[in-house]
């Protein structure tokens, strides 16, 4: 039986491939539930990290009494797992183990990559200290495809480590490459208040030296009569800093806060006005798009009268371009 399995693996390895693939074989007595769970764990947690032009060989063997042996081979490197316990837990436990142990199958890692994970934050070893809090990176798989975005929350200079929190994207795994991206951004947003008053804003966000704070500069207009310019401060705290980034909901959510001072012109009153506002909310990032819900307080006045004062609830959708 093992000879047949070996021949099958060898045949897969000889096929001309343009990207890393999984050659998975198993004994006939291994339950289908176990086979499917192990295969999903391998594809999700390891195959995406493998370099191109390679084949990951995986052989799953039954050992009796609910015990199974998984042998992984990539080139000349090999990794063996013994699977115990309930079958429904195999997939989760194996994916977690591969996140760390899978690095041993790599010959070399990218010069800048995810090298550790605490459950909340990732770590990346760096040789130079040119990075600072607020810097952002796109995380790439072995095929160069973007899997997520992380932000530097702290620089441990003595250890030469960047601590990173995930802002958005798919599950990330150790060994994935980090590609530095601009940390300044321009966002075009459309918002709707509880009284159905709508507004359009163009906002430049410029990160400050201390995470999570940024300076903001913007131009905006209500769809009724006001045009204004704004300046202020904002803060964005990824929820992954407080809970596991492996949770699909958590890794795309953030707590946002903004304080702005605005000056503009009201065409209906034919008069200038000034406005101060502050808001806190929750934002969900989906690639370049963001959907947020915020509660705030705003005061607006012209030289002659008070135009607006009180709480507001705002729903906003925005498209962000990184500079």
Contact call for residues 259 and 277 (beta carbons, < 8 A): yes
pLDDT of residue 20: 63
pTM over 0.75: yes
pLDDT of residue 84: 80
Taking residues 13-27, report their average pLDDT: 65
192 vs 170: CA distance, rounded Å: 29
pLDDT of residue 260: 98
Q: What is the set of domains in the chain, with CATH numbers?
A: 2-105 (3.30.160), 116-181 (no CATH), 185-322 (2.40.160.20)
Contact call for residues 24 and 42 (beta carbons, < 8 A): yes
**First-to-last CA distance in the chain?**
57
Q: pLDDT at residue 179 above 90?
A: yes
Contact call for residues 214 and 236 (beta carbons, < 8 A): yes
SS3 299: strand
Q: pLDDT at residue 122 above 60?
A: yes
How does strand 55-62 pair with strand 21-26?
parallel
237 vs 175: CA distance, rounded Å: 25
Q: pLDDT at residue 185 above 90?
A: yes
Contact call for residues 150 and 164 (beta carbons, < 8 A): yes
More confident residue, 77 or 276: 276
Q: Quick: pLDDT tens for 191-215.
A: 998 777 899 999 999 999 889 999 9
Q: pLDDT at residue 285 above 50?
A: yes
To the nearest whole percent, how much of the chain has pLDDT over 70? 93
């Amino acid at each position: 039986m093992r000879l047949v399995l070996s021949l099958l693996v060898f045949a897969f390895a000889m096929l001309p491939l343009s990207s890393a693939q999984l050659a998975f074989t198993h004994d006939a007595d291994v339950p289908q539930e176990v086979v499917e769970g192990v295969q999903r764990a391998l594809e999700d947690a390891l195959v995406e990290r493998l370099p191109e032009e390679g084949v990951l060989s995986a052989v799953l063997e039954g050992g009796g009494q609910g015990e199974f042996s998984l042998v992984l081979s990539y080139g000349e490197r090999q990794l063996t797992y013994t699977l115990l316990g309930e079958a429904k837990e195999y997939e989760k436990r194996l994916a977690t183990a591969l996140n760390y142990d899978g690095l041993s199958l790599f010959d070399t890692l990218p010069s800048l990559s995810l090298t550790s994970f605490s459950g909340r934050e990732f770590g990346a070893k760096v040789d130079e200290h040119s990075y600072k809090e607020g810097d952002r990176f796109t995380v790439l798989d072995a095929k160069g495809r973007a899997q997520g975005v992380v932000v530097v929350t702290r620089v441990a200079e003595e250890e030469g480590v960047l601590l990173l929190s995930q802002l958005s994207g798919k599950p990330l795994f150790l060994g994935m490459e980090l590609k530095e991206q601009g940390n300044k951004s321009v966002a075009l947003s459309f918002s709707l208040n509880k009284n159905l008053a709508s507004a359009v804003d163009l906002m430049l966000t410029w990160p400050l030296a201390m995470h999570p704070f940024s300076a903001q500069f913007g131009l905006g207009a209500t769809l009724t009569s006001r045009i204004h310019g704004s300046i202020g401060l904002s803060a964005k705290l990824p929820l992954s800093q407080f809970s596991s980034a492996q949770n699909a909901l958590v890794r795309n959510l953030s707590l946002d806060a903004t304080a702005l001072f605005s000056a503009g012109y009201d065409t209906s009153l034919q008069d200038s006005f000034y406005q101060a506002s502050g808001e806190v909310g929750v934002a969900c990032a989906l690639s370049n798009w963001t959907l947020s819900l915020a509660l705030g307080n705003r005061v607006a006045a012209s030289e002659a009268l008070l135009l607006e004062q009180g709480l507001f609830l705002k729903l906003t959708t925005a498209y962000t371009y990184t500079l």
